[in-house]
Amino acid sequence: MTTECTACKGTGTIILSEKECSDCKGTGKPKAISLDQLSEKDLGKLMGGGIKCAKCGGTGRISVTEPCKNCAGRGKFFTCTVCGKETTKGDLCETCAKKPLIHVLSAECDTRELEVGKVYEGKVQGHANFGVFVDLNPQLRGLIHSSNISFLPEIGDKIFVEVKNIASNGNIELLPKSLKEFQLIEVEKQLPRRKTIELSKYLGKLVHLSGEVIQIKQTGGPTIFTISDEDGTVQCAAFEKAGERAYPEIKSETIVKVIGEPSMRNGAMQVEIRAMKQLWGGDATGIKEQIESAIDRRAEPHDIQFLVKSEVLEKLKPRMRNAAKLIRKAVFKSRPIIIRHHADADGITSAIAIERALLPLLREVGGSDADRHFYRRSPSKAPFYELEDVTKDLTFALEDQERFSQKMPLVVLMDNGATEEDMPAMKQAIIYGVDIMVIDHHHPDGTIDSMVLEHVNPAYAGGDFGITTGMIGTEIARMINPEIEEEIKHLPAVSAVGDRSAAPEAEFYKALVADKYKPEDLKNMALAIDYEAFWQRFNDGRGIMNDILNLGSNIRHQQIVKLLCEQANAAITEQLEASMPNVKTQKLANGAIMNVIDVENFAHKFTFPPPGKTSGEIHDRLCSQYNGQPVVTIGYGPDFAVLRSRGVKMNIPQIVKELHAEIKGAGVSGGGHLVVGSIKFVEGMRKEVLAKLAEKIGAAGTQ
């Protein structure tokens, strides 16, 4: 085995210095030319000034060199193929060359790897009157004739045999060999490496495949290893015994060499493994680097123009492109992806946009069922990454790692994840090797940025919550997979209506789909999503949500949206009939109209609309009642308060920090947007917290 010397780059010499060429005196041109010895081509070069000095090659300089001390001037190193020791030349060191070689055939070898006269390791397979059968590997069996053996070995015994003859019909004649000193040397079939994308050309033929193990599944029959290389993935099946793990030494995320036969199974490519081994050192590093480099190139996001004009989105584009690349890279590396999103119209539309971009890509890379193994979308009831959420994510991820040797996932937080409230859950996730990315429009406080791979937020581009997560998610989805543009381009408009965005971009996105969806249609879809999300709880509701967003049957879309809106509006009407008479109103020092409702005692519990939605509906009606005036609505319970505001310059995250510091023993926490959010506190301090909150709202500026 040879490797190039790194000191001299394989030349065998080290350049010490340079000096002027003695023949051309540094000009690079020959001192004298014999015209009668020049060819027509040389004459042409002469006329064009292209004749160079033969000694220096036209450089005018001569290198002063010495033999490389690192490799003794050889330019390369030789290592013994048996023991790995350095040799001066050849494949064997002096010690190994003196010992007889015993060849151990890999499982994929056939008679083409056998040589008459060489000695091989075998296993006794059976006895017959005329001799002893010996297996040289799972597919090669030879015979020691009874006339050539003086003892009867036990079945299963290892034995050394010399190949005496290989008949034209493939029969192998063996002779027993007894050796005290020897060197074992592995013999593998030398096949060119093939890529997963090429396997369809070699159906039924033996191929060599090298790549990374990304998943291991034990079935009732074979063990299925999913192997990834530069171009894709393929499932490779190895059978030991029914339900028994084959190659138990092979773990996930190792680089392996597989010899096997490609075939089509249930419409998908599968390689029947003849032999597999883990690669180490330079061999493994080389394959790993090739895979990483190829995946990095494939993961580059598509270059798109945004659906609408937006300075904020243009400034945010580098972060969005990085997010798209990280998601695409996770797909190509067959790393599980979990999308965690707030369970409202904005969070759901943003997550479904990414989902629609991901699913075709996942199936293309990992097969028809890849979305079941490598993807999950989970709603969060609160607009932040709760401990309950991360506990579920880690539990599922660790189970998948144990059962299928899968990597820990990439968690994409959408419409949540931007503030200090998310820190406890993030810290748990990071301990277990989970990577996190945030796509959000809640006002960030900067605390989580060092813990995530990327944080896409309009606040980092001079924008605010008016740029919804649904808008950002849809544009990132187009960077991931532009082919799904037509089916998702109405989602930003739905999110804008659901989050009541007043940004110019909201009107642009609505105008983009105005020929297909009227404002009332968008409003109904947003309401239907919120209503269905309340009953779905922690399920993603993929089928029903797709129908609400018209991603399937248009007839069913119209029917389900109409029904859900009727039910939602009836529930809202019933709730407000009970709540509105119990709203207490007062005018604050800054001129703002503050409305307060105890949603614990004056609203139906455990039904739609929940406290946040109830407070929002009350706020909308009061804004109409006090048209043109600044209005704040607070819906409070035993240990929480929900805030909605119009025309009051509040900063709810900042107010939460101040209340936490100023009211000792209240345990104040919370956050949200600047003028829409929620606050938590201990029940016994409710009166003090609400009083102080009203004081701060009264001191805020108005528009």
* Whether 180 and 225 share a structural domain: no
Instruction: Give the domain extent around 606.
Output: 583-702
* Whether 631 and 690 share a structural domain: yes
Q: Cβ distance 253 to 213 under 8 Å?
A: yes
CATH number at residue 613: 3.10.310.40
3-state secondary structure 532-597: HHHHHCCCCCHHHHHHHCCCCCHHHHHHHHHHHHHHHHHHHHHHHHHHHHHCEEEECCCCCEEEEE
Final residue before a domain boundary, out of 242, 271, 298: 298
* Whether 286 and 333 share a structural domain: no
Per-residue pLDDT at 585:
95
CATH number at residue 269: 2.40.50.140
CA distance 372 to 369: 6
* Whether 340 and 449 share a structural domain: yes
| Local structure of 168: helix, strand or coil | coil
Per-residue pLDDT at 376:
95
Assigned domain for 225 exists: yes
* Whether 387 and 438 share a structural domain: yes
* Whether 420 and 334 share a structural domain: yes
Which region holds residue 371: left if phi is over 0, alpha if psi is between -120 and 50, else beta? alpha
Per-residue pLDDT at 370:
83
* Whether 443 and 503 share a structural domain: yes
CA distance 83 to 459: 61
CA distance 460 to 454: 12
Q: Could you read off the pLDDT of 609-633 as tens digits, one per residue?
A: 999 999 999 999 999 999 989 999 9
Q: Which residues pair with 163 in a beta bridge?
A: 174
Q: HSE on the CB side for 507, CA within 13 Å? A: 3
CA distance 53 to 31: 8
Could you tell me whether strands 207-218 and 193-194 are parallel, antiparallel, or unpaired per DSSP bridges?
parallel
Assigned domain for 337 exists: yes
* Whether 165 and 198 share a structural domain: no
* Whether 648 and 501 share a structural domain: no
* Whether 605 and 680 share a structural domain: yes
Assigned domain for 73 exists: no
Give the phi and the psi of residue 545 in degrees, each rounded to 5: -60, -40
Reported pTM: 0.75
Q: Cβ distance 573 to 604 under 8 Å?
A: no
Number of domains in the chain: 4
| Local structure of 352: helix, strand or coil | helix
Assigned domain for 599 exists: yes
Assigned domain for 134 exists: yes
CA distance 368 to 268: 9
List Cα–Cα distances, 249 to 138, 222, 486, in angstroms.
19, 16, 48
Give DSSP secondary structure letters for 398-466.
Answer: HHHHHHH-PPPPEEEEES---SGGGHHHHHHHHHTT-EEEEE--SPP-SSSGGGSSEEE-GGGGT--TT
Residue 167's contacts (CB-CB under 8 Å, 6 or more residues apart) are 173
Could you tell me the two tokens for 159? 């034995």
Assigned domain for 4 exists: no
CA distance 385 to 427: 11
Per-residue pLDDT at 619:
95
CATH number at residue 417: 3.90.1640.30
Long-range CB pairs of 123-131, under 8 A, 24+ apart, other chains included: 123/156, 123/157, 123/158, 123/159, 124/153, 124/154, 124/155, 124/156, 124/157, 124/158, 124/159, 125/155, 126/155, 127/152, 127/155
The CB density around residue 369, as the number of other CB atoms within 10 Å, is 11
Closest CA to 263 of 227, 237, 289: 237
Q: Which residues pair with 142 in a beta bridge?
A: 134, 172
Indicate the residue type of 231: D
List Cα–Cα distances, 246 to 225, 227, 274, 280, 368, in angstroms.
10, 15, 11, 20, 25
- Per-10-residue mean pLDDT of the chain, 703 residues long, equals 71 83 80 56 54 80 83 74 63 69 89 92 94 93 93 92 93 92 86 92 93 91 92 91 91 92 90 92 88 92 97 97 97 93 96 97 85 92 91 94 90 93 94 96 92 97 95 98 96 96 96 97 97 90 94 95 97 96 94 95 93 93 93 96 92 91 93 85 96 94 87
Closest CA to 507 of 468, 457, 476, 469: 468
Give the phi and the psi of residue 106 in degrees, each rounded to 5: -70, 165
* Whether 294 and 360 share a structural domain: no
Q: Cβ distance 490 to 516 under 8 Å?
A: yes
Q: Match 């030879």 to its residue by tokens.
A: 142
Could you tell me the two tokens for 669? 């926490």
* Whether 197 and 175 share a structural domain: no
Label residues 90-109 b or e (16+ Cβ within 10 Å = b): eebbeebeeeebbbebbbbb
CA distance 50 to 572: 90
Residue 695's contacts (CB-CB under 8 Å, 6 or more residues apart) are none
Per-residue pLDDT at 308:
97
Q: Could you read off the pLDDT of 346-383 as tens digits, one per residue?
A: 999 999 999 999 999 999 887 778 888 899 999 998 88
Per-residue pLDDT at 27:
79
Per-residue pLDDT at 429:
96
Final residue before a domain boundary, out of 274, 298, 322: 298
Final residue before a domain boundary, out of 167, 187, 207: 187
Assigned domain for 181 exists: yes
Per-residue pLDDT at 37:
54
CA 668 to chain centre: 37
Could you tell me the two tokens for 693? 């909150």
Run of H or E including 215:
strand 207-218
Per-residue pLDDT at 43:
52
Assigned domain for 535 exists: no
| Local structure of 120: helix, strand or coil | strand
